[in-house]
């Protein structure tokens, strides 16, 4: 759990960056209707969560550096005994101050009357335009109300500034508290993958294995950080396979890409293993290439190395392996230069990880890949995918999809693998599955 004082520190850090003549406005995520009067499970906006830890909808954060009567303002729902009997407890304006460390709080219903006065006198408005058209319109209306008072001496903002560039760079560097939450989240996801490995048998359906994952998540208070991918056989060649409704066949591989979310922080793990507990020779040789690529990539997750370095290491290892097997023709460097490896490995080797699975933060700075620094968290996920209808490929390779993914923290020294408890060595996987049987 992240303490209120850390959220307060984040808000103060953001205010120092934007300066005393600015105002930052960050709305909570709206509730989303699933169908008729049923809603999707509520999930807070990641930027709002990062700055407040406040998990309710119908709220707006206003950060007003240097404001005499309070810099950190939250507009939120009031306490309402009748509504709380239906929907659960609310913090209310009192709780926003007492529990969440705000300087002041006002009812969300009063925002039209109060927020324009807080915008008045500020020269720049920092905000995420384009996320919520309805809120965009409200904000423009509030600013226009201030502009209407210019002849009476009011000073209206003359600039809208994208908040993401600043805020997302702050989110890229994880604190000790964040890393503790992410380690716990990774532990839950790892337990789910172990449960799935032990449970799978030929003849089961993909959705039965998905149920094992979901059981482990919810048992430990987590939810999926994205729709799990449970892909048997050739389905593993579909990068974002989500149907999860096919039978699992003896002799096929099962690719599971599934992560847990805890306190809005994500984990992201992929493992590929044989449905019957034993790799075939063809599966094993391809698997070992992917594993070697992942190990080569993780070795590059060190401070001072450019972000692209670990992708390049994985690509070189995979290309060399495919050339050796004859799946790629010609020399390694030729295939690298021509990009012919992309026929079998078509995605990048990883991404930032944090409050979002594909977390925010620029990958390039001034046109160059940014250097990795302590506190950043990345996924490392090389793969090989040989489509079932791949032309010019021996039948023994076709329909094999393999990916191995772990969550890795950049430290001052060797990388820390948060998800290492789930075996990725082929012998260890077979041993674990044999013991479960």
Report pLDDT digits (tens) over 193-215. 999 999 999 999 999 999 999 99
Which residue among 302, 403, 406, 407 is the active-site one?
Answer: 403
pLDDT tens sequence across 348-383? 999 999 999 999 999 999 999 999 999 999 999 999
Query: Is 126 in the active site?
Result: no
Q: Lowest mean pLDDT of 154-158, 231-235, 309-313, name the range.
A: 154-158
Query: Is 148 in the active site?
Result: no
pLDDT tens sequence across 238-283? 999 999 999 999 999 999 999 999 999 999 999 999 999 999 999 9
pLDDT tens sequence across 29-87? 999 999 998 999 999 999 999 999 999 999 999 999 999 999 999 999 999 999 999 99
How far apart CA 74 and CA 81 sit, in angstroms, is: 21
What would the mean pLDDT of 281-304 be, rounded to a whole number?
A: 98
Query: Is 168 in the active site?
Result: no
Dump the DSSP string for 368-381. EEPBP-TT-EEEE-
**pLDDT cut 90: percent of the chain above it:** 98
Q: What is the pLDDT of residue 295?
A: 98
Residue 1 reports pLDDT greater than 90? no
How far apart CA 420 and CA 437 sit, in angstroms, is: 23
Q: What is the pLDDT of residue 437?
A: 87
Query: Is 257 in the active site?
Result: yes
Which residue among 45, 71, 359, 381 is the active-site one?
Answer: 381
Which residue among 145, 347, 370, 398 is the active-site one?
Answer: 347
- Residue 421 has, within 13 A of its CA and on its CB side, a CA count of 14
Do the beta carbons of residue 38 and residue 53 sit within 8 Å? no
Which residue among 351, 356, 359, 406 is the active-site one?
Answer: 351
Query: Is 37 in the active site?
Result: yes
Rg (the chain; Cα; Å): 25
Which residue among 242, 358, 389, 427 is the active-site one?
Answer: 358
Q: What is the pLDDT of residue 254?
A: 98
Which residue among 268, 356, 359, 407 is the active-site one?
Answer: 268
What would the mean pLDDT of 108-136 be, rounded to a whole number?
A: 96
Residue 99 reports pLDDT greater than 90? yes
Query: Is 416 in the active site?
Result: no
Dihedral pair phi/psi, residue 72, rounded to 5°: -115, 105
Q: What is the pLDDT of residue 200?
A: 98
Q: What is the pLDDT of residue 300?
A: 98
Banded model confidence at residue 105, pLDDT cuts 50, 70, 90: very high
What would the mean pLDDT of 159-186 be, rounded to a whole number?
A: 97
Beta bridge partners of 159: 124
Predicted TM-score (pTM) of the model is 0.96
Which residue among 151, 240, 412, 437 is the active-site one?
Answer: 240
Beta bridge partners of 403: 383
Query: Is 218 in the active site?
Result: no
Residue 192 reports pLDDT greater than 90? yes
The encoded tokens of residue 107 equal 């009812």
How far apart CA 275 and CA 252 sit, in angstroms, is: 6
Mean pLDDT of the residues in the chain: 97
Which residue among 56, 71, 257, 407 is the active-site one?
Answer: 257
Which residue among 56, 271, 385, 407 is the active-site one?
Answer: 385
Query: Is 351 in the active site?
Result: yes
Query: Is 381 in the active site?
Result: yes
What would the mean pLDDT of 15-39 be, rounded to a whole number?
A: 96
């Amino acid at each position: 759990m992240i303490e209120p004082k850390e959220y307060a520190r984040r808000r103060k850090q953001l205010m120092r960056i934007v300066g005393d003549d600015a105002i930052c406005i960050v709305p909570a995520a709206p509730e989303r209707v699933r169908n008729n009067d049923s809603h999707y499970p509520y999930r807070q906006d990641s930027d709002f969560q990062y700055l407040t830890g406040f998990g309710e909808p119908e709220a707006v954060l206003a950060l007003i550096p240097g404001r005499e009567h309070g810099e950190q303002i939250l507009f939120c729902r009031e306490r309402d005994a009748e509504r709380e009997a239906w929907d659960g407890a609310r913090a209310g304006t009192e709780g926003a101050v007492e529990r969440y460390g705000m300087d002041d709080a006002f009812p969300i219903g009063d925002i039209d009357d109060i927020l324009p006065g807080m915008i008045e006198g500020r020269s720049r408005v920092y905000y995420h335009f384009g996320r919520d058209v309805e809120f965009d319109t409200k904000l423009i209306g509030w600013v226009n109300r201030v502009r209407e008072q210019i002849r009476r001496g009011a000073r209206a903002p003359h600039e809208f500034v994208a908040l993401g560039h600043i805020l997302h760079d702050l989110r890229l560097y994880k604190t000790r508290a964040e890393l503790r939450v992410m380690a716990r989240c990774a532990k839950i996801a790892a337990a789910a993958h172990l449960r799935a490995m032990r449970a799978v048998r030929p003849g089961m359906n993909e959705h039965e294995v998905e149920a094992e994952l979901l059981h482990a998540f919810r048992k430990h208070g987590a939810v999926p950080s994205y729709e799990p991918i449970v892909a048997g056989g050739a389905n593993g060649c579909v990068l974002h396979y989500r149907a999860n409704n096919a039978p699992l066949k003896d002799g096929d591989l099962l690719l599971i890409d599934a992560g847990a979310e805890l306190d809005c922080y994500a984990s992201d793990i992929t493992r590929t293993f044989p449905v019957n507990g034993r790799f075939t020779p063809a599966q094993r040789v391809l698997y070992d290439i992917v594993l070697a690529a992942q190990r080569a990539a993780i070795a590059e997750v060190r401070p001072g190395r450019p972000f692209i370095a670990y992708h390049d290491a994985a690509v070189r290892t995979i290309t060399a392996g495919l050339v050796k097997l004859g799946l790629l023709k010609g020399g390694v460097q030729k295939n690298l230069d021509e990009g012919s490896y992309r026929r079998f490995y078509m995605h990048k080797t990883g991404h930032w990880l944090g409050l979002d699975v594909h977390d925010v933060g620029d990958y390039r700075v001034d046109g160059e890949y940014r250097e990795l620094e302590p506190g950043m968290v990345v996924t490392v996920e090389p793969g090989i995918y040989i489509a079932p209808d791949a032309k010019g490929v021996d039948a023994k390779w076709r329909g094999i999809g393999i990916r191995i993914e772990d969550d890795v923290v950049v430290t001052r020294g060797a990388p820390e693998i948060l998800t290492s408890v789930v075996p990725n060595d082929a012998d260890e996987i077979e041993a674990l599955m044999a013991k479960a049987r």
